[in-house]
Chains A and B, each alone.
Chain A
Amino acid sequence: MSANLTLIVTIGVLFATGVPLVLERSLSRILIGVLLLGNGANLLFLVASGRAGHAPIVGAPDQRASMSDPLPQAMVLTAIVITLGVTAFLLALSYRSWQLNRNDDVQDDVEDALIKRLADLDEASTSFDDSEGGVADEEGSDESEATSGGDHR
């Protein structure tokens, strides 16, 4: 199977631009990145379908050899519809996030945030064996009952 070079270069560009965007913090940039990647994947199906030819299925039986492969086209259509739906949801989500926080940044993992705060306060987690019990941390836990192991809430 010989592949179409133009398509492949386009796919390469779409993926190369999409990946850095997905790694961004802002949800709207992620959205654009996902769209680029999604379109790259859709074009990949066209590459997979092989040589372009006559319109499939409609043609006379003797044209069968010169028809394009219809199956990947059906799959691409499905994939496009799915991407559309999910994109709409992501847009709604980023709007909701903007409503709540006045930005649409993807926020930190809770665990990461807690550990980062402990690090900022230069404090060990409550399970750290500090004998004197240390200071009651701002999570509101009572230092006296910080007994059980591995408990850094």
Chain B
Amino acid sequence: MNALVPMPVMLPMLGAGICLVLGRSARAQRIVSLAVLSAVVVISGVLLWKTDASGPQVVDVGGWGDLGISLVADRLSALLLVVSSIVTLCVLAYSLGQGIVEYGRDTPLSVFHPTYLVLVAGVSNAFLSGDLFNLYVGFEVLLAASYVLITLGGTAARVRAGTTYVVVSLLSSLIFLIAIALVYAATGTVNLASLASRIDDLPDGVTLILQLMLLTAFGIKAAVFPLGAWLPDSYPTAPAPVTAVFAGLLTKVGVYAMIRVQTLLFPDSPLEGLLLVAALLTMVIGILGAVAQSDIKRLLSFTLLSHIGYMMFGLALATTIDSPIALAGTVYYVIHHITVQTTLFLVSGLIEIRGGSTNLDLIGGLARVSPVLGVLFFIPAMNLAGIPPFSGFLGKVALLQAGAESGTWLAYVLVAGGVVTSLLTLYAMAKAWNRAFWQAPPDSVEATPAEGALHGGDAVAVDAPRTSAMPISLVVPTAVLVAVGLAFTVAAGPLFGIAERSADELRDRTPYITAVTDAADR
């Protein structure tokens, strides 16, 4: 059964190789990618069931025991794997559908599939890694793939946005690398389970430096407030499916790394106050940015930034209060946010096709033109804003409850900040809804192509709002993701149960550590 653990990394890598070989045949590439990602969904599902039933699953890949690379699937990793693989599969289906519309001179088909599979492999590797250096490798794999995807086609706007993204990511990788060297110098190991016990023996100052370096590196990737300014500028220019998968997954990998490191290595973290303040600023400043935007993609990028703050909030509280609710809330919020944010970016791609643009000044009246699109936008938008029956509401309630349980004045400030952010999200979403779907379309629009490029959108689309029917192959994957988002509400009980058990596992630490040491001794 443990043999399944490396599969989510290995299969996409193999698939990427096969896709490269089959570069001439678009059809074969599609079949391979779809087959690989479907297999990953099934395997992740089995892994989740297995880890939930019988504890963390460990594979010692190198056979070097404590020295080599171990891959660990515990409840948190498995849960994130399941959600991310479903999301990546849907986005792949969407991008195949978009092939009808967008593949052409600007998007070389032969590069997309292998790169996308490498990205998936990197994400899975990061989730499964039980070793700090392998986590770095996982990050690099997914980043290298994302560099290619974000500059796909090499148009001027994408090169401009990509440059910032690449340079910032490079710096964060360097900080991470330096942190690993320091960790090794201080402890003589990079295995997370061994580190967990050895870090306790270090002097407080050394521990603090290591923790701050790691958190800074992950904070850049997760786009936490002072480190996240690169995000809203670089994401919107990429093709819709690419932005969708970036928005859903890449920042969450950073959040995952933070959760893992904070709970496993630094459970007695002295940085609660710092994290809480960062969370508050991330939430409020991000959402104020969103309110000011008039392009749907940029607006969504800012809400993405803002809602990272909720996850930081739960994580900061996790070490201080004596119940798993904060961490469980964070885990639930992460999986909710992966799905919803991806869905919204896919829908914005549909809006671009149906309305001709994502700029709110150029479109309008879409509710009459396409009620289906209206429904597809409305549900995830309300979900993101946290309207009661949806999963966004449930996650926020758990986090706010944790804040109230903590009882410090700072936590109450955060609770208030969370509520305000939620309201402002609702405002931003309602604004987007009103202007795109209800308001009458502007009759004369004169935007120059240069303007379009400057706004980060597709220059052609803004230049002449050109509308066309939505292909059914794009609507179906989007609708599936909307349904997955709704399923988080329907299955909220069992899901929150898993989230709570994974939070217990994270707080306890011993199941993870014993599983890894047992595997190393075998």
Contacts and interface: CB of A to CB of B under 8 A. Distances in A.
Interface of A: 1, 22, 27, 30, 34, 37-38, 41, 44-45, 47-49, 71-72, 75, 78-79, 82, 85-86, 89-90, 93, 96-97, 100-101, 106-107, 109-111, 113-114, 127, 138-142, 145, 148-153
Interface residues of B, number: 51
B163 A48 contact: no
A110 B171 contact: no
Contacts of B170: 34, 86, 90
B67 interface: yes
A101 B160 CA distance: 10
B419 interface: no
A94 B133 CA distance: 29
Nearest to B295: A153
Contact of B154 (A72, A90, A96, A110): A96
A106 B294 contact: no
A48 B140 CA distance: 22
Interface string B164-187: 101100110110011011101100
Contacts of B181: 41, 44-45, 47-48, 72
B133 A38 contact: no
Which 3 residue pairs across A and B have the least CB separation, nearest first?
Answer: A48-B185, A44-B181, A150-B292
23 contacts: A1-B185, A34-B171, A41-B177, A49-B184, A86-B140, A86-B173, A93-B166, A101-B156, A106-B163, A109-B229, A110-B233, A114-B454, A127-B292, A139-B451, A140-B446, A140-B448, A140-B451, A142-B442, A142-B444, A148-B435, A149-B291, A150-B291, A150-B292
Given A96-B154, A140-B448, 14 more contacts: A41-B174, A41-B181, A75-B190, A78-B133, A82-B137, A86-B173, A93-B162, A97-B159, A97-B163, A100-B159, A110-B454, A110-B456, A111-B232, A114-B454
A111 B233 contact: yes
Contacts of B185: 1, 44, 47-48
B109 interface: no
Nearest to B174: A37
Contact of B67 (A44, A71, A100, A106): A71
Contacts of A38: 174, 177
A77 to B, nearest CB: 11
Contacts of B456: 110
A109 B178 CA distance: 28
Contacts of B232: 111
A49 B187 CA distance: 11
Contacts of A145: 361, 442
Interface in B284-303: 291-292, 294-295
A153 B184 contact: no
B206 interface: no
B447 interface: yes
Given A44-B182, A85-B144, A106-B164, A141 B292 contact: no
Contact of A27 (B144, B163, B171, B448): B163
B151 interface: yes
Nearest to B288: A150
B147 interface: yes
B445 interface: yes
B30 interface: no
Contacts of B444: 142
B431 interface: yes
A135 to B, nearest CB: 14
Given A93-B159, A140-B445, A151 B171 contact: no
B455 interface: yes
Given A44-B181, A45-B181, A72-B184, A30 B167 contact: yes
Contacts of B147: 86, 89, 93
A90 B148 CA distance: 11
Contacts of B435: 148
B292 A93 contact: no
A105 to B, nearest CB: 9
A100 B156 contact: yes
A141 B445 CA distance: 8
A148 to B, nearest CB: 6
Contacts of B167: 22, 27, 30, 34, 106
